[in-house]
Amino acid sequence: MNIKLIKQNEKKIEEDIEIVLIKNLKKVDKKDKEVLKSIDFTKTSKKTFLLLASKKLYVHCRIFKGEELKVLLSNIIRELKQYKFKSIKIALVQENKELSIKDICEGLILGSYVYERYKTKKTNVKCNIFIDIKASKKELKRLELEFKNTRIITSSVNMVRDIVNTTAEDYTPETMSEDARKIAKENDLTCKIYGEDYLQENNMHTMLAVGRASRHESKLIHLHYKPKSKALGKVILVGKGLTYDSGGLSLKPTSGMINMKLDKGGGSAVLGVMNSLRELNYPYEVHGIIGAVENMIGGDAFKPGDVLYAKNKVSIEVRNTDAEGRLVLADCLCYAQDEIKDIDYIFDVATLTGACITALGTYSTGIMGHSDKLKNKMRKASFNSGELVAELPFNSYLKPIINSKIADISNSTGSAGGASILAALFLDRFIKEENKNKWLHLDIAGPSYAESPWGYNSYGATGAGVRLILEFINNLKK
């Protein structure tokens, strides 16, 4: 799908169809009004009516902004795709209300996404979408910038969707490393990739253990963005990049294993953010660190009952090899804080616990941390980006539950109660004291993958985390 702006000095576009949003029939052409009135269009549950004679798709719209508009437009573009129109137009001003270019672009671009890499027969629907901004009262440069930035972000979201949707056989830790190198080259970032020798030499034994039984070497990826001018602050992103998770010797059931390609969602989201920063010209220094690992079974697999030592020398009793993501993140968080000084914010992003889906449903990211101020900033980013978040609170009674009788802590308690919070409290043991109030844990297990379409997400990966984090960083300068 190709999306463009129609400006004042450009020729009239001969579109196949125009999307017209209406709340009532007052502004509709007389001839079309009679047809719409005859079917009682605005008073029925029907949302759309296609009038080919007028080359218009009328859409009953209650709210002309925000998530409601995005979801409505995503449903419209899916409907129009079946007709295979070559060009579609939508005016920025509808019923004297000026819409947001961001809302229009996100609804249309994210809603039109399909993943067809493994399909023999592709849909191959090529379509030009034109946003007519001629009646806009806003400054042209402002509109063009909003359009450009939204396209950058949605492009990265769809890139992440592609990565997460790719099967584990085709997407390994090495593949993730190659993507990181490509992103670095295209965006003038610094990129460092470390293999298992580095992990061994630097006492990153928990990450090393998780990938030990895989035929694919584990990779520690470090991307670094520096703005052209002096950075206003420093943000660290740490992503769980489990390219596949069998559960290890604590083997998952078949039903729980089928879509475990999604376990790289956190690391992929970090790639998506890093892919956007240069073009968005954000004035903050950002580090993206990803533990790219495959958790498999075999004679060399780590075992329940093992005691591992993380980079910060904390000993961990392994009670469940399927609680592997927190082991990878533990070493990555230690690495980040050892290598990078003067941190302003540090976030880890991970498809960490199924318990988060039980607690919040499939649509919300769970946020956990010590600082209410920081959580409030993330909530603001949630509202502006459209990605839902909800807090799961820490408390002093939960903290001792992760203690081990034979080591410092356990990687699993065996209890379903508070499991998402306990996983975050486990990670908290690897956050240095001076960074406690700068850290948030983002559990994207629910919204990262859609088992059935919802909102502007089709089946499969959603790209969760990209818009949320970019919005958070963008808000820092306000």
Q: Which residues are designated catalytic? A: 252, 326
Distance CA 100, CA 210 (A): 46
Letter string b/e over residues 1-40, b meaning 16 or more CB atoms within 10 A of that residue's CB = eebebbeeeeeeeebbbbbbbbeeeeebeeebeebbeeee
> Which residue is associated with the tokens 């990779």?
219
Q: Are 152 and 280 in contact (CB under 8 A)?
A: yes
Output Rg (C-alpha) for the chain, integer angstroms: 24
A 10 A CB-CB count for 395 gives 9
96, 146, 189, 365, 390 from 359: Cα distances, Å: 42, 36, 38, 10, 10
Whether the Cβ atoms of residue 435 and residue 337 lie closer than 8 Å to each other: yes
Q: Are 168 and 42 in contact (CB under 8 A)?
A: no
- C-beta separation of 441 from 136 below 8 A: no
Is residue 39 within 8 A of residue 49, CB to CB? The reply is: yes
Q: Which residue has the tokens 């061994």?
A: 200
Phi/psi for 176 (5° steps) reads -65, -35
141 DSSP 8-state letter: H
Nearest CA among 88, 91, 93, 92 for reference residue 76:
88
CA angle centred on 153, ends 72 and 76, rounded to 5°: 15
> In whole angstroms, what is the distance from residue 98 CA to residue 54 CA?
23
DSSP string, 347-388: EEEE---HHHHHHH-SSEEEEEES-HHHHHHHHHHHHHH--E
AA letter at 299: G
Closest by Cα among 160, 175, 270 to 223: 270
H or E stretch covering 161: helix 140-165
- Between CA 377 and CA 317 the distance in angstroms is 35
Q: What is the DSSP secondary-structure string of 77-125?
A: HHHHHTTT-SEEEEESEETTEEPPHHHHHIIIIIHT----TT-SS----
